[in-house]
Structure 1
Amino acid sequence: MGASFSAFFIDEDGLSAPSSPSLGDLPESCVASIIGYLDPPQICKLAKLNRAFRAASWADCVWESKLPPNYHILVGKILGFAPEKLGKRDIYTRLCRANTFDGGTKKVWLDKSTGGVCMSISSKGLRITGIDDRRYWNHIPTDESRFGSIAYLQQTWWLEVDGEVEFPFPPGTYSVFFRLQLGRASRRFGRRVCNSEHVHGWDIKPVRFQLWTSDGQHSTSQCVVGDPGEWFHYHVGDFNVEKSNSSTKLKLSMTQIDCTHTKGGLCLDSVVVYPSKFRERLKHKGFLKCAKPM
């Protein structure tokens, strides 16, 4: 794009003369102002263009706008040190990793493209009725979970899962999902297979999902759990955050306590919290199950 060419050309008298200005001649401050309008992946690609773009791609003024408004609080809680020790691009990079906290039961990260805060709560970070009785529940290892294990329900009369988390979410609207699958997946001769031996009882009554926030927001919905063999995100509800310097406490639940029948064969991976606009991503990929409000 001009930067790879020689900065001079030979004129008619055989004398060297300056060529037309190229991208490499742009001041770093000018380049930083331009790439500041791009999303992070595009900025990183342009950094390979030439020295001016590479230098500008590290400018704090470029990455300040990409970070959440309360990134100082996030860095202290997630990374455990003062953000002044790193440049803004380094902070963004570290926050984009799946950072573990709360005893390894929770992970939080920034979406690389949008900078939106995402969170996942493992099955071990939830309160599951009967989880200590191996006749009903088991924690089994799997590479299909970002936590390396899931909770597997063989059979129960009473399904009750509760969880809570307190976190300084940046201002915005967020959606909460349970990541569930009917049937137990495994690998056989290098291929994924799903054992539906214990799957039963889910088509009789819907599962009820609830969400509460510390500032009084509440939603209740229900959905029939179906389609064995695939992981789906079951939408619990949405919540809004308006203040950037305070924490939001969430409480959530999943229940099916109709004791007229047993149900089993359910895999519970995690609860995830995404910016609400991510619902379209999940829907486009076919991973979304929308519960009906009650």
Structure 2
Amino acid sequence: MDITFVLPPECISRIISLSTARDACRSSIACPIFKSAADSDYVWEKFLPSDYEQIISDSASDSSLITSLSKKDLYFHLCHNPIIINNGTMSFVLDKESGKKCFMVRAREFYIEWGNTPSYWIWSYLPESRFAEVAELKLVWWFEIKGRIETKILSLKTIYAAYLVFKFVDTRYGFERRPIEFGVHFEGSDTEERYRVVLDLPKDMPQLSQDRGDGWMEIKMGEFFNENGDDGTVICSVFDFDGYSPKHGIIIQGIEVRPKNGR
């Protein structure tokens, strides 16, 4: 029996809205009635975060996006076009698979040891950066960075992974032999899992860092589970100290948190 003769279009839309964005796109090719239901604003409003209007209104983007685009077009616009929010301190984008929220916190918001001492770190503009400033390391022996993000702005019931977003200058040194420590934990927690990685491996070795395709590299710092948004603050940290191993030549754009494998 053809389901389109049994159920009215609004019921089909309701069923599709309980699935995922990927399933909705697949449903739209089944037949004209399914396409009309799967492409409806009703369906795609369900896939957008409940606070998407507030997020867009808080950004430098044109707020007419809310009214000028269909909800489906708005969904994919937010997947492919990060918007700057919170007075330029963060960027926001949707995870294409799940519709869950992803954020990048700019480097200027971090605690960086010696970060305001020009002989150690300098702040400059790069056209390929989302933000007005990036942090470039000139020379340190004590390498420490801490970023913070509030769990209340993240999607609930979600496993998040945190990534350091960076690039190297051609003349870098200090990252090719000695490993640095990464850690991700909830502020005030007694437990913190840390692991050590060599950030700048030779090109003939398997790379831990990945090319993002936007002119930057990223490396995973750790994971956390945002259960209900009331857990507080997540701290993402990078650390190394060796008085005999100076470091030079890394540029930090920010730390990005996004759902692990789209979940």
Give the TM-score, by structure 1 length: 0.65
Q: Deviations over 1:222-252 (max 9, x none)?
A: 11111489643222211112215x3631112
Higher relative CO (CA 8 A, sep ≥ 6), structure 1 or 2?
Answer: 2
Q: Which runs of structure 2 are paired with 1:43-62 in the superposition (5 Å)?
A: 43=24, 46=28, 53-54=35-36, 57-60=39-42, 62=43
Match of 2:114 among 130, 149, 152: 130
Question: Which residue of 205, 208, 226 corresponds with 2:200?
Answer: 226
* Residue of structure 2 equivalent to 1:179: 165
The Cα offsets for residues 234-283 of structure 1, whole Å up to 9 and x where unpaired, read as 22211112215x3631112212221112111112121010111259xxxx
Structure 2: give runs of 5+ residues left out of the alignment.
59-65, 204-210
The alignment covers a number of residue pairs equal to 237
What letter matches 2:161 in structure 1? Answer: S
User: Following the alignment from structure 1 to structure 2, what is the Cα–Cα distance between the partners of residues 44 and 226?
Assistant: 40
Determine the structure 1 residue equivalent to 2:184. Answer: 211
Q: 1:137 to 1:228 in 2, by over 3 A?
A: farther
**Alignment pair present for 1:110 and 2:91:** no
1:253 paired with 2:237, answer yes
CA distance in 1, matches of 2:176, 2:34: 61
Distance 2:98 2:13 in 1: 18
Cα deviation code 1:56-94 (max 9, x no counterpart): 52242x2354245xx24x6546645xxxx9899378568
50-59 or 102-111: bigger deviation: 50-59
- Counterpart of 2:232, as a letter, is T
2:228 corresponds, among 243, 259, 274, to 243
Which sections of structure 1, spanning at least 5 residues, go unmatched? 1-20, 184-195, 280-294
Superposition RMSD in Å = 3.8
In the other structure, the counterpart of 1:89 is: 71
Return the letter of the residue paired with 2:227.
Answer: E
Once the two structures are TM-superposed, the CA of residue 175 in structure 1 deviates from its matched residue by 0.8
Q: Could you say which residue in structure 2 is the equivalent of 1:200?
A: 173
Secondary structure of residue in 2 paired with 1:63 = helix
- Report the Cα offset of residue 151 of structure 1: 1.6
The match for 1:3 is none
Tell me the TM-score normalised to structure 2 length. Answer: 0.71
